[in-house]
Chain A
C-alpha cells in the first residue's frame, strides 16, 4: 500500500493506505480520531464534516490521495480556535445535542459558515446547514446556537 503525508490538527502524519481510501476512514481507523462520524458514505448527511485548508469538506468524499499535502482540521481541535470555543459554549448553552452523533459534523459546518458569514441570518444558516442531517431534529437549537455564537442575540 502506498504512503501519504498530511497535516491533521497541526500534526504531520504519514499513513499507509489504499489511494482510494476515504479520509473519513483514515482519520477514524488509522489515526484514532473517532470524533468524525460515518453517517452515509455518499456525501448525503455531512456527519463526517471536517475542514480542509480551512474550508468545509465531507471526509467521506475525499480520498486520502486527494487529502495528502493538505491541512485537515477535525472536531478534536475545534476548541483550539476562539470561534470553535464560542460555538461549543453556545451548543452547551442552548443544550443542542440529543443523541449527539451528528453534532461533530454540525459544529464543523457551523464553524465554516461563521468563518465566511460572521453575522448570519436565519436564511444564511438554513442554507449553510441544510446539508447536515440530524435524526433527533435538533435543528431549531442548532440555529439558535449559531446565532448565539455569532453574537446575534435572539434569532433573526
Chain B
C-alpha cells in the first residue's frame, strides 16, 4: 500500500469550547480509505479525526478514532499527542471517538500511526501553545520565557508555575495559533520512542475488556444463522418444526443473499446463544447450490496454469524500461509459484449486536471500519446516516476481516425482523466457511541474469482473482490490490502484469494484503536467481540495494545478528528475505530444520526492522513476534479449499494455526531513527514465508514453490524439484 498521495497538510481548528475544558479538533486522511475509494475527492481533504480535552483536574482525555485490535493504537495515538503537549502521561486517558462521519475511523493497512503522526503532533503542540499563552497572559510575561513539562507551565525567572488543569479555562479563550505550530526536535522526545505500558492491557487480564461478543443490551435476543454452504446458492425450502420445538426459540427468519456481502440464510432467534445454535442445527433446509455447484479450487488452480501465457488478456500494472530475452552470455531463470486461499480466523468469531428502532439504529460492533457500517446500514435501510449510531468495542483480532460490514448488515436485518435488539454470534465453522478470503493464484516470474549474475530484466505475471474486482466490480480498471509488487531492487527493466480470473469466492484484505503473496513469490524466486548466479543470497541482494542505505543497513543488520554464513547443525538451513512494505524495511533470517518425517520445524527468526520513528518500541517488537507467528501459521498450515462450491475446512481442527510448542525464538532488532513513521502491524508478515522456503532449500536442496508446506513435500525421498 502506498501513502505517496497523502498530503502532509493538516489543519487545526478550535471548533468547540465546552465548559472549562479546552477542546481541539483536527484532521487526517486515512490512506486505506483513500485507496478503497480512489477518485473520491477528499471532501475538503479532511474531516476532524480526534478530540483532545484538558479537564480542570488536569486529566487529558484523547479520543482515538482508530480501533484497538491488539496493534497498540489505543496507546500510540495518545502518546503522540502527549509528547507535543508535554502532558503528564499518568493523567492521560484514552476514549473512543464517536462514529458520526466527522472522524476517519478506518483502521487498517498499517496506516493509523503514519497517517495520524503529524496531525496528532500538531494537535498536541497547538494545545500546548494555547496553555502557554494563557499562563503568559495571566503572569504578564512573554510566552517565549515559559517552559512546559509533565502538565505544568513554568516561568522560571519569576518562579511561577500552573498546571494544565488550572489553565484550561483560560486557554480555551486564547486565540488558536494561525498555521502550524512549531514541533519538537525529535531528538528531544521523552515519550515517543520510549517503551510504554499499553493502556488496554490491564482490562485484558481480568475479563473486563469488552469485545463485541460481550455486548448485552436490555430486551436482547440471541441469533444463530444457517448459511447456504455453496457460494451463490439460494434457499429452496426450510422445515423449521424441530427448530421451533427447541425451548427458548422465538422466531425463524429467512434472509435472501445480499450481493457480494451475505449468502442466503435462515436464522433462529432465541433466549440465549445455545438455544439459537441448537435450533439452527435442527433446521431441515434444502439449498439450491446455484451456478457454482461445481466450482473447486483444484480446478481453478489448473485454470490459472492454463492461462499463464494469455498475453492478450494480461493487463500491465507497473513497468519500467523494457523487459527482454537473454542475450549472449546471459541466462533466464523462470518459475511459477502458487498460493492458496486463506481465512482470517480471528479468535473472536464474527458477531454484532443491533437495535433497529423507529427513531434510529444502534449497533455494537468489533469493527475496523465503523463508518462503513454506518453508511452501509443507512443505505441498506434507506435511512439517514445520522440516525445510525455505531459503538466500537475492542476487537478480538481484526487482520482486515473486520473492515467488512457483512456481520453488521446481518444483525440489522435480524433486529428489524425481530423488532428488538439482536446479538448474532457466528460459530467458528461459519467464521471459517463464510469468510472473505485472501486470494489464491499463481505468479510466474522470469528473470534475465547478465554475465555477472545480476538481474537485468524482471517479469512477474499474476494469474488469479483480485480482491478489488470481487468487492468493487468495475471500479478499478487495471489497478489491482493483488498485482505483483515492484521489486525494491535496482533492476533496470521490469514488467508486472495480471491475467484477471473471475472467482465466486468472497475476497478481502488479509493482514499485509497482497504483500503476503508478493513477498513470498518475489523473495523465494530471488533466492533462485542468487543460486543460479552462484552468489550468496545476502550479498546478491546488497549489490542490488546499493543506492538505498537504509535497506542496506537492515539487510546487513539481520545477516550479522543471525550469524549469516556460520555453520548450522546437520539437517538445518538458513534462509534470507527482505521486503519493503510501503517504506517499512524488513529483513528476516529463518533457521529451520527438516526432519525425516518432513514436518519442518522453525527454530529461530532474526528480524531487522526499520519503520522510521517508532512510537512505542515494545509494541513494534510485539507486532513482529505476532507477524512471525501469523506467517508461520499460513506457511505451515494455511489453506482453504473449495469443492462443489463450498469451503471444506471448518474449525481449528482442520484449519490449523501454530501453537506455543511450534513458536520459534524471535529476535527483533529495531533501527532507531527519526524518519517519518511507517507501518508496523503488517510488514513483518511478507518476508517470513520466503525466508523459510529459502531455509528449507538450504537444508535440503528442495525448492518448494507452493504453500502451505506439507510434510509429504519434504519427506525423505520426496521429489525435490
Residues of A that sit less than 8 Å from B by CB: 1, 17-18, 20-22, 25-26, 28-30, 32-42, 44-45, 47, 74-76, 78-79, 87-88, 91-92, 95-104, 107, 125-127, 129-143
Residues of B within 8 A of A107 (CB): 205
The answer for the CA separation of A92 and B202 in the assembled complex, in Å, is: 7
Residues of B within 8 A of A98 (CB): 70-72, 622, 626
Name the CB-closest residue of B to A128: B660
Instruction: Decide: A100 and B204 in contact? CB cutoff 8 A.
Output: yes
Give the shortest distance, in Å, between A46 (CB) and chain B (any CB).
10
Instruction: Decide: B663 and A34 in contact? CB cutoff 8 A.
Output: no
The answer for the CA separation of A41 and B396 in the assembled complex, in Å, is: 16
The answer for the CA separation of A96 and B618 in the assembled complex, in Å, is: 11
- Known A-B contacts A97-B205, A98-B622, A100-B209; the reply to A132 vs B397 at CB < 8 A is no
Give chain A's interface secondary structure class.
loop
Name the CB-closest residue of B to A44: B652
Instruction: Decide: A29 and B349 in contact? CB cutoff 8 A.
Output: no
Q: Does B425 lie at the interface of the complex (its beta carbon under 8 Å from any beta carbon of A)?
A: yes
Instruction: Decide: B214 and A34 in contact? CB cutoff 8 A.
Output: yes
The answer for the CA separation of A22 and B206 in the assembled complex, in Å, is: 22
Residues of B that sit less than 8 Å from A by CB: 69-72, 197-198, 200-211, 213-214, 216, 222, 246-248, 272-275, 278, 345-349, 394-399, 425, 427-428, 618, 622, 625-626, 628-630, 632-633, 651-653, 657-661, 663, 665-666
The answer for the CA separation of A39 and B658 in the assembled complex, in Å, is: 15
Instruction: Decide: A29 and B69 in contact? CB cutoff 8 A.
Output: no
Residues of A within 8 A of B425 (CB): 38
14 residue pairs A–B, Cβ–Cβ below 8 Å:
A21-B274, A29-B222, A34-B213, A37-B348, A38-B273, A38-B425, A45-B347, A74-B207, A133-B657, A134-B347, A135-B347, A135-B657, A137-B628, A140-B625
The answer for the CA separation of A30 and B628 in the assembled complex, in Å, is: 39
The answer for the CA separation of A125 and B661 in the assembled complex, in Å, is: 9
Name the CB-closest residue of B to A34: B214
Give chain B's interface secondary structure class.
loop
Instruction: Decide: B204 and A40 in contact? CB cutoff 8 A.
Output: no
**Among A26, A38, A133, A137, residue most surrounded by chain B Cβ atoms (within 10 Å):** A137
- Known A-B contacts A18-B278, A22-B274, A100-B70; the reply to A139 vs B347 at CB < 8 A is no
Residues of B within 8 A of A142 (CB): 660
Residues of A within 8 A of B214 (CB): 28, 34
- Known A-B contacts A91-B201, A99-B396; the reply to A34 vs B206 at CB < 8 A is no
Cross-interface CB contact of A139 among B70, B651, B659, cutoff 8 Å: B659
- Known A-B contacts A76-B206, A92-B201; the reply to A100 vs B661 at CB < 8 A is no
Number of A-B contacts (CB under 8 A): 188
Instruction: Decide: A42 and B651 in contact? CB cutoff 8 A.
Output: yes
Residues of A within 8 A of B651 (CB): 40-42, 44
**Among B345, B397, B427, B633, residue most surrounded by chain A Cβ atoms (within 10 Å):** B397
Residues of A within 8 A of B630 (CB): 135-137
Residues of A within 8 A of B428 (CB): 39-42, 45
The answer for the CA separation of A155 and B318 in the assembled complex, in Å, is: 48
Name the CB-closest residue of A to B627: A137
Name the CB-closest residue of B to A40: B428
**Among A21, A32, A140, residue most surrounded by chain B Cβ atoms (within 10 Å):** A140
Cross-interface CB contact of B347 among A21, A28, A29, A133, cutoff 8 Å: A133
Cross-interface CB contact of B396 among A25, A36, A100, cutoff 8 Å: A100
Instruction: Decide: A103 and B204 in contact? CB cutoff 8 A.
Output: yes
Given A34-B216, A135-B397, A137-B632; 16 other pairs, CB 8 A cutoff = A21-B274, A28-B273, A29-B273, A39-B349, A42-B428, A45-B428, A92-B201, A99-B348, A100-B204, A100-B394, A101-B348, A104-B207, A129-B660, A134-B629, A138-B625, A139-B658
Give the shortest distance, in Å, between A124 (CB) and chain B (any CB).
11
The answer for the CA separation of A99 and B427 in the assembled complex, in Å, is: 19
Q: Which 10 residue pairs are nearest across A and B when measured between Cβ atoms?
A: A35-B207, A137-B629, A101-B396, A98-B70, A100-B204, A99-B70, A75-B207, A34-B214, A97-B204, A29-B272
Instruction: Decide: B247 and A1 in contact? CB cutoff 8 A.
Output: yes
Residues of A within 8 A of B660 (CB): 125-126, 129-130, 132, 139, 142-143
Instruction: Decide: A139 and B207 in contact? CB cutoff 8 A.
Output: no
Instruction: Decide: A138 and B622 in contact? CB cutoff 8 A.
Output: yes
Name the CB-closest residue of B to A79: B206
The answer for the CA separation of A47 and B348 in the assembled complex, in Å, is: 9
The answer for the CA separation of A138 and B168 in the assembled complex, in Å, is: 41
